[in-house]
Structure 1
Amino acid sequence: MALRPIDNALPITPERPKKQAKVTVLPHKEKADFGVNDENNVPLPPPLTADSSIDYTPSENLKPFPDPDVKIQGLVGGLDSKDWLKMCESLNDVRRLALFHSNILLPILENVMPVLVKAIKNPRSALCKTSIMASSDIFKAFGEKLLEPAISAVFDILLLQLLLKAIQDKKFVCEEADRTLKTMVDSMSPLLLLHKLQAYVGHSNLRVRAKAAVSISNCVSKMDLEGMKEFGLVSLIQTAANLLNDKLPEAREAARSIVVSSYEALVENEEQKKDSWESFCQSNLPAIYVQAVVKIVSS
């Protein structure tokens, strides 16, 4: 009987799998807590934002430049910067130059104004507010020089932008625009400014219309009878009569103020004031408006 050959090869032992490194996975809550204040930990400081570096300094706290001639040289370049923080810094420079060195700023004002308008249109609220504050200081410094032919067209665009910003959603921008519109009225001849504002009292946006009405009311309150007649007293009363039916209370209140200011300027003789006022209204207003206008002063 033949013997089976013996296999001298060593048996193959299967390789044991390598032990994997242990990985610790944090629970979802632990991962979410990184960088968050917890009552058991030391409170973390609030994160810094770009807007936190913006300086909204009131006009009365601004200071003159020790070297305004040097500062003016790079002003337009800074205003044209693509870095909005640099633009804000340059707009604050404009404010200081306007208030304390207006004679140096005036020669380049024609170049500064379009950039100012562009900044007001910017959707970044910090840049928008800074540019509105710069507009206010420019009004204080230059007044009705802004209505001169070289700049008048840009002023028209600026005025519309201020009216639009006074009605937008962000409260701190609205409030700044309202203050600037008031400064504008205080800084300019009411007669010249009325011609600019008159274009917006019939605006399709009722909120813009109301803001324009308020500025017109503020202008009229500064005028005497001669100024009203030069602008057109009949036109003022007709504007007020139309606004008395406006949907917004702000516009209606402005209309009443225009009527009162016009009435006080027109009537000087205490004994005849009622008759002369009624006669004036009847002669210049449609019948449906007369009673409403007369009633304002009689009450």
Structure 2
Amino acid sequence: MATPLDNPPPTDAAVDYIASEDLKPFPEPNTQIQGLILGLESKDWIKLCESLNDTRRFALYHSSLLLPLLEQVMLVLVKAMKNPRSALCKTSIMAASDIFTAYRDKLLEPTSSGVFDQLHLQLLLKASQDKRFVCEEADKALKSMVQSITPLPLLHKLQAYVNHTNLRIRAKAAVSISNCVSRMGLEELEEFGLVPLVQVAANLLNDRLPEAREAARSITMSVYQSFTEKEEQKQESWQNFCEANLPALHGQSIIKITMSH
């Protein structure tokens, strides 16, 4: 008679982590899309991981077929990311990366925006946790998000997290802001507001985590380089700007970062 030990439960090793470039299109996508939501509702976590990989294939190769289901699919990702099983969590994060790549600014449209906010928060939480292989995957997904979505509207979303009570979430948001700002020209930065940006950087410079402080320095340098691009007296113009818009101590800290440039 078989005991429970003869049939151990499946381990995380039963799940394949497939790189995006190794995923293949479906031979009959119109037929196969019909079973996707059923698979995503499965209570069997291995089946759910397989369906998440199928979701990635649809996003990358048949994005118009997945589009009507996108909000539903993103809610599944949010739920899967909250699951304590690391394999499921990691697979859902990989799916989020591919969805960012495939749908870009569509994710900020009114129909998707609310779910996008939930997904984004989960990624910040996962990037802030201690399970390294989940944390690293979430960092990759946040990078994919910043590279895929137009910086200005995304920056407005990211700004909400720089005062988060969780210092790790603050730091991860700061890194995304830094990556976002580095993609923007002066016109876009001015549209967002140079003053709010240097204020964000000045506050993060005093943060407890080195990651947040490093991001603050990077934000400062991006704004400085754009601001002074056409200025003759670079340092003088920058100094005047900082002194006019920041408290004295904050202004001095920001000016000091750019002194060697």
Q: Under a length normalisation based on structure 2, what TM-score does the superposition of the two structures give?
A: 0.95
Matching residue of 2:186: 225
Answer with 1 or 2: which has the greater Rg: 1
Partner Cα separation in structure 2 for residue 119 and residue 49 of structure 1: 18
Note if 1:203 corresponds to 2:164.
yes
Matching residue of 1:214: 175
Of the candidates 84, 104, 111, which is equivalent to residue 150 of structure 1?
111
Note if 1:170 corresponds to 2:110.
no
Matching residue of 1:115: 76
Where do residues 1-299 of structure 1 align in structure 2 (5 Å cutoff)? 49-269=10-230, 271-299=232-260
Q: Is 175-184 or 264-273 further displaced after alignment?
A: 264-273
Asked which structure has the greater RCO (Cα within 8 Å, sep 6+), the reply is 2
Q: How much does 1:50 deviate?
A: 2.7
Query: For the aligned residues, what is the CA RMSD?
Result: 1.3
Read off the aligned partner of 2:28 and give its amino acid letter: D
Partner Cα separation in structure 2 for residue 177 and residue 269 of structure 1: 38
Q: How much does 1:269 deviate?
A: 3.7
Read off the aligned partner of 1:165 and give its amino acid letter: K
CA shift digits 1:13-49 (9 cap, x unpaired):
xxxxxxxxxxxxxxxxxxxxxx9xxxxxxxxxxx884
Q: Under a length normalisation based on structure 1, what TM-score does the superposition of the two structures give?
A: 0.83
Flag the 1:269–1:151 CA change in 2: closer, same or farther, 3 A: closer
Q: Give the secondary structure class of the aligned counterpart of 2:160.
A: helix
Bigger helix fraction = 2
Aligned length: 254
Gapped regions of structure 1 (runs ≥ 5): 1-34, 36-46
Q: How much does 1:169 deviate?
A: 1.4
Q: How much does 1:237 deviate?
A: 0.4
Read off the aligned partner of 1:248 and give its amino acid letter: L
Q: How much does 1:116 deviate?
A: 1.2
Amino-acid identity (%): 68
